[in-house]
Amino acid sequence: MRLYPTPCTVRDGRAMAEVPVTTLLVAVVAIVAGFGVTVAASRRAVADATALAASTRLPPFIVGVTLLAIGTDLPEIANSIVASISGHGDINVGDSVGSAVTQVTLVLALLAILGGAFVVGRRRIGRVGGATVVALLLGAVLMIDGNLSRRDAVILIGAWLVGSWLVWRDLPPAAQPALQVIAGNRMGRAFAVLLVLAVVAAGATAALWGLTTVARALAISEYLIAFFAGSIGTSLPELVFAVTAIRRGQRDMAVGDVLGSSFVDSTLSIAAGPLLAPVAVSADLVVPGSIAAAAAVGAVVVILSVRKRHDRVTSLALLTLYFAFYAAVIAVW
């Protein structure tokens, strides 16, 4: 039994697929409910993962850029696996690359607006942002042949490992102390995380079935609908967690999570599905999209590095970049 409709890419004025109105309505409900379940479950998984991480006494920025970045990226990772197994490589890449841009522009902008201004660590921004730019360009090169193989997945996972090592290596002294150790049953928390992961996957499956159905009905490319709509839905966990963290005084963890999630999107998220099930992609869409995303992330790094402070001025610049980026994507495609 297929999890998605038959794979199709609808471009250049092709006719809409005949999808019953009731099916279309169910698809919209599936998108909203699926993303809602995914976000709620991801939030619980992040809470349990934070409790586990607290016992390691790692600096908050490191926890955010690695462990929590993977935790809040669970919707994208689940999307990657389900979409690849079902033969929808464009949805995997569209959601992952779109999320990478959404998080370092829209989410990071809202972080300063909702949580207040703060000083930016130039070396941290440069290391994680630079690694994300390189990863996006690497992904573009790997997808030129219109395919994401297991070898490509291994290369992207390797890029995440190398990038994470570079972030850990020669890291500036943390602006905040390590997390306070939280007593509790580690095995119980670990089991809770695994249980919640299953719920995340179920929510992602429902939402992405809805996305593919809407794409067919409206004659929209699966890549584009995942790039725009999917990335917004799967980026909600980062926004919710980051704003909550910064309001609780954990600025380093919040920024680390947003930057780390963008890096994870560019590497682990894209690779998770093809590692299990190699899948074809539309090279004429995913390659320029990844290059444009790399340019957007690079622009964010420059803006924050020059300003050295993230406030309403830089937030406005990031929001402008976010909308300009998507306007350019629509104009080209």
Q: Which domains does the chain possess? A: 21-332 (1.20.1420.30)
Report the DSSP pairing between strands 118-119 and 309-310: antiparallel
Q: What is the DSSP string of 154-208?
A: HHHHHHHHHHHHHHHTTPPPPSSPPPPP--S-HHHHHHHHHHHHHHHHHHHHHHH
- In this structure, of 36-40, 142-146, 253-257, the range with the lowest mean pLDDT score is 36-40
* Residue found under tokens 């584009």: 224
Q: What is the tens place of the pLDDT at every residue in 282-303?
A: 998 899 989 999 999 999 999 9
Q: Which two tokens stand for residue 154?
A: 């291994």
Closest among 66, 38, 35, 39 to 53, alpha carbons compared: 66
Q: Residue type for 153, please?
A: A
CA triple 216-235-317, angle to 5 deg? 110
Q: Is pLDDT above 90 for 71?
A: no
CA separation for the pair 277, 150 (Å, rounded):
8
Residue 133, CB-side half-sphere exposure with 13 Å CA sphere: 14
At 7, the pLDDT band (50, 70, 90 cuts) reads very low
- Output phi, psi for 71, to 5 deg: -60, -45
- CB atoms inside a 10 Å sphere around CB 21: 8
- Cβ neighbours for 106, distance < 8 A, ≥ 6 positions apart: 235, 318, 319, 322
Angle of the 251-264 helix axis to the 150-168 helix axis, nearest 10: 160
> What is the pLDDT averaged over residues 136-148?
95
The confidence score (pLDDT) of residue 148 equals 95
Kindly report, residue by residue over 231-240, the tens digit of the pLDDT: 776 676 677 7
Per residue in 196-248, pLDDT tens?
656 665 666 676 667 667 766 766 777 777 777 667 766 766 777 677 667 76
Work out the end-to-end distance of the chain between its first and last CA atoms, rounded to an integer number of angstroms. 33
Question: For tokens 């997390």, what's the residue?
Answer: 179
Mean confidence (pLDDT) of the chain: 76
Q: What is the mean pLDDT of residues 91-112?
A: 88
Helix, strand, coil % in the chain, rounded to nearest 5: 75, 0, 20
DSSP letters spanning 54-68:
HTTT--HHHHIIIII
Reading the block at residue 108, the tokens are 């990071």
CA nearest neighbour of 8 among 80, 89, 76 = 89
pTM for the whole structure: 0.75
Give the Cα separation of 10 and 212 in Å (integer): 11
Cα-to-chain-centroid distance, residue 56 = 25
The predicted pLDDT at position 157 comes to: 93
For residue 195, pLDDT over 80 is answered with no
Percent of the chain at pLDDT exceeding 90: 23
Q: Tens digit of pLDDT for each residue in 156-166?
A: 999 998 888 88
Long-range CB contact pairs, 138-144, < 8 A, 24+? 139/93, 139/97, 139/266, 139/267, 139/270, 139/290, 140/286, 140/287, 140/290, 140/291, 140/294, 143/93, 143/281, 143/283, 143/286, 143/287, 143/290, 144/283, 144/287
